Amino acid sequence: MIAIIGGTSLLNLNFLEGLGERVINNAYGSVYILKNENVAFLPRHGRDRKIPPHRINYRANIMALRDLGVEKIIGVGCSGSLKKEITPGSILIPHDYLNLGEIESYYDLEIKHITPGLDEFLREIIIESAKRSGIKVIEKGIYAQTRGPRLETKAEVSFLKDYADIVGMTMASEATLSKELGIPYACISTVDNYAHGIMDEVLDFEKIVKNASRNRKDLEKLLMAVIEELK
């Protein structure tokens, strides 16, 4: 089974048609999922789209997918560009990440270490699916995760831009927990805005939400191609 973890904007995409609703309970909490025999979709902000990034129960989410028998996870999320050349409207496939906030783990009560990272096989599947579908993607980049819910300060962005290419609030937590459970994970990041201070403009959340819909058609086409390849 393949799982897609996405934000609220994905709840309106056509690929969700025919998926049934499930609520999965585990030791970490309850998780709302849409699924059929081959695909599971987990809306990371919940059924009602109201869970802010810093309140997402990542451990419950990834454990629920493991319990469903999910073998591969594709995360989809919005991000801000830390580089002028990475323009809003781009789609970037990260090859690595930074996590400067609280690092989620299942190993709170035991000494155990993993080497975190994104799955290169899944990354290549996404990139090749994009090429076959005629969708332009940026094939690598470093994702920096901050905690949220606020956006980053200009000083934080000035620091991050020397070490990363895009910034978001969710992917690194999902990737680390997936690695702890042995589930391959890769990410499709839509670039919806420039991070605070990269350009001489005032960031506006409503504008960011509006920009998120600009590449929705390509995103859905890419997801459908990836699902078909992995089924």
pLDDT per residue as tens, the chain (231 positions): 999 999 866 766 666 778 899 999 999 999 999 999 899 999 999 888 889 999 999 999 999 999 999 999 999 999 999 999 999 999 999 999 999 878 899 998 889 899 999 999 999 999 999 999 999 999 999 999 999 889 999 999 999 999 999 999 999 999 999 999 999 999 999 999 999 999 877 666 666 666 655 667 889 899 999 999 998
What global pTM score does this model have? 0.93
pLDDT number for residue 229: 92
Instruction: Let me know: does 144 contact 160? Beta carbons within 8 Å.
Output: yes
The length of the chain in residues reads 231
Domain boundaries, the chain: 2-230
- Are the C-beta atoms of 125 and 229 separated by less than 8 Å? yes
Longest CA–CA separation in the chain, Å: 48
pLDDT for 203 equals: 64
State the pLDDT at residue 213. Answer: 57
Report the alpha-carbon distance of residue 181 to residue 178 in Å, rounded.
5
pLDDT at 11: 60
pLDDT of residue 132: 96
pLDDT of residue 204: 62
Contact criterion met (CB below 8 Å) for 185 and 106: no
2-230: CATH architecture:
3-Layer(aba) Sandwich (3.40)
> Which tokens is 13 given?
């995409």
